[in-house]
A = this chain, B = another copy of it.
């Protein structure tokens, strides 16, 4: 997929979409953590929260690495997970969009 060329406009759209998904996912995580933490009464709950944070940190660090060679895969994943909506990718090359859509259906 690394042969895809991104125009300046596409680059801007991609970066905005990427940032939007990042904001959505991180804000949702913050909300979950705040809710879970407010209900902690025992050490077991605390370590459960720790495990959740370890997993999410690893996942988010890995996913939000803006890299052209993996961008279509990341966008497909973000669409599937609901952090990004199709209309937010409007303006990208139709070929790129169809690749992303196809991957999102897998």
Contacts and interface: CB of A to CB of B under 8 A. Distances in A.
Given A34-B38, A37-B33, A50 B46 contact: no
**Overall SS of chain A's interface:** helix
Contacts of A57: 46-47, 50
A4 interface: no
A43 interface: yes
Interface in A39-57: 40-43, 45-47, 49-50, 53-54, 57
A32 B60 CA distance: 25
Interface of A: 26, 29-30, 33-34, 36-38, 40-43, 45-47, 49-50, 53-54, 57, 60
